[in-house]
Amino acid sequence: MKEKIQSLRRQIDVLNINILELLSERAEVAERIGEAQTTLGLSHYDPAREQEMLEAIVAANKGPFDEPTVKSLFKQIFQASMQLEDDHDKEKYLTSRTLDHEDTVVRVGDVHIGSNHSPVLIAGPCALESREQVLLTAEYVASKGVSLFRGGAFKPRTDPYSFQGLGEGGLRLGREACDQYGLKFVTEIMDPRDIGMFIEYVDVLQIGARNMQNFMLLKAVGNTDKPVILKRGLSATIEEWVMAAEYLLSAGNPNIILCERGIRTFEKYTRNTLDVSAVALAKLETHLPVLVDVVHSGGRRDLLVALTKAGLAVGADGIMIEVHPNPAVALSDNKQQIDFDTFDRYLEETGYHKKLSIKRHEVYGF
């Protein structure tokens, strides 16, 4: 009897290999269909076709497996083939975290953003307003260990009659302050025609939420090798945000940093809703560093510490915050910027004064 079992098992071994060979052959054909569908812009999932195949299989089934079992086995095969086709589609995307793609680390001078580097802090006023305001803020944040200074010279304002920024004069001031205090300058570019001017003054180009799908701007910025912070659009899906990053990468710029800055929801207690799952998902789906702008997301000073902790807990590679010597008289976002004393407390309460100098895993254990 034992010998009989041995002999039957040898038959099963051969059949297993035959099934595997057939499955692999089937998968290759499915891949060819998938490629053709992708070329035609068609979906890989075709429920009518699945139904047709299942009916033919069930009709040909002579047992001993019953109909539900056969159906479930084949559905499993269909599912696996479709996964293969979807995975192939993703391979062409430069943002995609294919199995062997390591975390991108963007270097800004000697600051490393991404992977296991300690989370960065980008601080500075909403808008660059005057020489005094710019120099005072730059000096202060630099004295606290911050290396990246933010401040808008070209401001995307809802109201066309409100302060629009100092323009090139603001860029010049930002550069001067950063050089004086050993900072790197982060500022928003709105018009692709300004690229030459920005390159002269700026260390990191920011693409604002309102311009996330300005494709001409994305292409122009993608043509440079300057580090870029790409804000998520006000109502952009994660896919649209990642596709915007794809524009930058496909134009040749590998130094892309994503930034979640809150999205529009029905909530009124906050200016926007910080989408923490988007931060985690962007890190899962792409290899790019991801920041959290805790200012424009909540729009409230009393949320800055909590949102910072939340952002870092879901894996953010850094935080952006707005600091102003006297927020009450700020020419933009005066309700959400914080003064120097509050910034001090923020650093204390978030533990950021420590995070600025040591490795991420030493702070979080991951």
Residues that bind Mn ion (CB under 5 A): 126, 333
Query: How far apart, in whole angstroms, are the C-alpha atoms of residue 79 and residue 249?
Result: 31
186 binds, among Mn ion, ligand PEP, none (CB under 5 to 8 A by kind): none
HSE-CB for 365 with a 13 A CA cutoff:
0
CA dist list (Å): 110 to 113, 147, 148, 184, 361 = 10, 9, 11, 10, 19
Of the residues 106, 111, 120, 126, which one makes contact with ligand PEP according to CB under 6 A: 126
Q: Residue with the closest Cβ to ligand PEP?
A: 208
208 binds, among Mn ion, ligand PEP, none (CB under 5 to 8 A by kind): ligand PEP
Of the residues 209, 249, 290, 330, which one makes contact with ligand PEP according to CB under 6 A: 209
Measured from the CB atom, the residue of 114 and 152 that comes closer to ligand PEP is: 152
Q: How far is the CB of 250 from Mn ion (least distance, A)?
A: 29
Q: How far is the CB of 270 from Mn ion (least distance, A)?
A: 15
Mask for 287-306, x = binds ligand PEP (CB under 6 A): ------x--x----------
Measured from the CB atom, the residue of 162 and 237 that comes closer to Mn ion is: 162
Q: How far is the CB of 257 from ligand PEP (least distance, A)?
A: 13
Residue 230, beta-bridge partner list: 207, 258
Of the residues 188, 203, 246, 260, which one makes contact with ligand PEP according to CB under 6 A: 188
Of the residues 114, 124, 165, 208, which one makes contact with ligand PEP according to CB under 6 A: 208
261 binds ligand PEP (CB under 6 A): yes
Which listed range, 35-43, 46-54, 69-77, 208-216, lies at the site for ligand PEP (CB under 6 A)?
Answer: 208-216
Alpha-carbon Rg for the chain, nearest whole angstrom, is 27
Q: What is the 3-state secondary structure (H, E, C) of the chain?
A: CHHHHHHHHHHHHHHHHHHHHHHHHHHHHHHHHHHHHHHHCCCCCCHHHHHHHHHHHHHHCCCCCCHHHHHHHHHHHHHHHHHHHHHHHHHCCCCECCCCCCCCCEEECCEEECCCCCCEEEEECCECCCHHHHHHHHHHHHHCCCCEEECECCCCCCCCCCCCCCCHHHHHHHHHHHHHHCCEEEEECCCHHHHHHHHHHCCEEEECHHHCCCHHHHHHHHCCCCCEEEECCCCCCHHHHHHHHHHHHHCCCCCEEEEECCECCCCCCCCCECCHHHHHHHHHHECCCEEEEHHHHHCCHHHHHHHHHHHHHCCCCEEEEEECCCHHHCCCCCCCCECHHHHHHHHHHHCHHHHCCCCHHHHHCC
325 binds ligand PEP (CB under 6 A): no
209 binds, among Mn ion, ligand PEP, none (CB under 5 to 8 A by kind): ligand PEP
Mask for 72-111, x = binds ligand PEP (CB under 6 A): ----------------------------------------
Measured from the CB atom, the residue of 295 and 347 that comes closer to ligand PEP is: 295
231 binds ligand PEP (CB under 6 A): yes
152 binds ligand PEP (CB under 6 A): yes
Q: How far is the CB of 207 from ligand PEP (least distance, A)?
A: 8
282 binds ligand PEP (CB under 6 A): no
Q: How far is the CB of 228 from Mn ion (least distance, A)?
A: 18
- Could you tell me how many residues of this chain bind ligand PEP (CB under 6 A)? 11
Which residues are at the interface with ligand PEP (CB under 6 A)? 126, 152, 156, 188, 208-210, 231, 261, 293, 296
